[in-house]
A and B are shown apart, each in its own frame.
Chain A
């Protein structure tokens, strides 16, 4: 475990240094993403200015929700950037390099790339949480735990969906749709959805566990939500690791010459 962490830290450091090589591009992507998220959030500022509350959700709740989703998503794609392109790597037969290394294939492939804009998302998430004015130490700790679990569930869900490429071939479109759907639905108040839609958001597209449940845990200090969150993390993490390793048995090399930089 400790060796894996040392390895991960070294990978992240190398990724960060490589990203910062192009300083202007790095800054423009981080700042651009903060602005991008901020402009998107203005929708909710305007919406709640006009309608005040919708089924118990107000602007402060949205600050917490955006805080936890943006931090979880941002850290996830910054630290494990290949989670967005795993499907392409599998179907393109580009896992050979990782298979030849004495490290966990899944962890290695995911952390081999960083999506720079993710750092902007994560920064925006922290800013959004600050706007929610929950400055107590316990609230900050809940925010950190909630964001971490949100990140793990998001990563696990994407690994699970993208692992379908081992069986289906190129499933990039499906992966893109799944990624968009989970982020989009996680940014809406869960109280908007009833019946079947709500069931889907807790199972097939677990957006509730990325956004609403951790937000509820942070906001209302509801420990029952933490238990749900931990249970969901355990289930999705186990499923994703199982699906990836099961799929790996079916992997076929692309026999292409690859360079890993």
Chain B
């Protein structure tokens, strides 16, 4: 916050690339909230693969991935409420009230899809443990891609044009930037375009996760008992 307040003051302008200081701070609040409310699904899956406990879950009469979705959703919901309340109060005190509440239902829907998209990528990282055992490096790189190309550290609007167009097409932007930008600029065309992009990426990533999961389970080997 300090960085952006200083930057706007140094730039000596009300708005930078269409975002005022108020927009930027509310954008960052929602972006951080989404990031901080994510469950650590990749770690849970990787650990259960490594220690073999996945074997006890696979023979239960439910789908292992959907089981992880339900645990993660519950976990995220509690984090989300706390983060949004705390972040909201701080930003409200700093720059005034949040953007138009009429857009909030649209934002909520895109946040749910963003969560599912993130779950798919996290599940893929966790399932990589079937092959590599250690997945920390993938987790770090994914989280940094989210920070940068997802627009948590800096809104994509401030990127050079060529990098912005690449970043906006990637799933990281649909996970963080899209919902956060819609929050400060709740227009129907923006919502529809975001929804289309999110659903497309979700279908692709969902199919890859199912494929990788089936392959991973066939090569699972449990040592000892």
CB contacts (< 8 Å) of B147 on chain A: these are 39-40, 43
Contacts of A180-223 to chain B: CB distance below 8 A: 188, 192-193, 197
CB atoms of A28 and B132 under 8 A apart: yes
Verify if A137 is at the interface (C-beta below 8 Å from B): no
- Say which one of B65-73, B77-85, B153-161 lies at the interface with A: B153-161
Q: In the complex the two chains form, what is the Cα distance from A47 to B156 in whole Å?
A: 11
CB contacts (< 8 Å) of B148 on chain A: these are 39-40, 42-43, 46
CB atoms of A197 and B3 under 8 A apart: no
Verify if B15 is at the interface (C-beta below 8 Å from A): no
Give the residue of B11, B144, B160 whose beta carbon is less than 8 angstroms from that of A39.
B144
Q: Give chain A's interface residue range (CB within 8 Å of chain B).
A: 20 to 34
Residue-wise interface mask of B (127-161) relative to A, using a CB-CB cutoff of 8 A (1 in contact, 0 not): 00000111011101101110110000110001110
CB atoms of A50 and B158 under 8 A apart: yes
B135 to chain A, nearest CB (A): 9
CB atoms of A46 and B160 under 8 A apart: yes
Q: In the complex the two chains form, what is the Cα distance from A47 to B11 in whole Å?
A: 13
A28 to chain B, nearest CB (A): 4
CB contacts (< 8 Å) of A197 on chain B: these are 2
A202 to chain B, nearest CB (A): 16
CB atoms of A35 and B141 under 8 A apart: yes
Q: In the complex the two chains form, what is the Cα distance from A46 to B157 in whole Å?
A: 11
- Chief secondary structure at chain B's binding surface: helix
| In the complex with contacts A40-B147, A47-B154, A55-B10, A32-B138 CB distance below 8 A | yes
Q: In the complex the two chains form, what is the Cα distance from A24 to B147 in whole Å?
A: 26
Q: In the complex the two chains form, what is the Cα distance from A43 to B3 in whole Å?
A: 13
User: In the complex, what residue of chain A is closest to B152 when comparing beta carbons?
Assistant: A43
Verify if A29 is at the interface (C-beta below 8 Å from B): yes
CB atoms of A32 and B136 under 8 A apart: yes
CB contacts (< 8 Å) of B140 on chain A: these are 32-33, 35-36, 117
Verify if B59 is at the interface (C-beta below 8 Å from A): no
CB atoms of A49 and B160 under 8 A apart: yes
Verify if B163 is at the interface (C-beta below 8 Å from A): yes
Verify if B63 is at the interface (C-beta below 8 Å from A): no
Give the residue of B3, B132, B144 whose beta carbon is less than 8 angstroms from that of A36.
B144
CB contacts (< 8 Å) of A46 on chain B: these are 148, 154, 158-160, 163
| In the complex with contacts A39-B144, A47-B154, A54-B3 CB distance below 8 A | yes
Verify if A51 is at the interface (C-beta below 8 Å from B): yes
Verify if A31 is at the interface (C-beta below 8 Å from B): yes
CB atoms of A193 and B2 under 8 A apart: yes
| In the complex with contacts A39-B145, A46-B163, A50-B158, A29-B7 CB distance below 8 A | no
CB contacts (< 8 Å) of B10 on chain A: these are 51, 54-55
Give the 8 A-B CB pairs with smallest separation, nearest first: A32-B137, A39-B144, A36-B140, A25-B134, A43-B153, A28-B137, A192-B2, A50-B158
Q: List 19 A-B contacts (CB under 8 A).
A: A22-B134, A25-B132, A29-B137, A32-B138, A35-B141, A35-B144, A36-B143, A39-B144, A39-B145, A42-B148, A43-B148, A46-B148, A47-B154, A51-B11, A54-B3, A54-B6, A117-B136, A188-B2, A193-B2
Taking A39-B145, A49-B160 as given, write out 6 further A-B residue pairs in contact, using a Cβ cutoff of 8 Å, ordered by the A residue number.
A32-B138, A35-B137, A42-B148, A46-B148, A46-B163, A47-B158
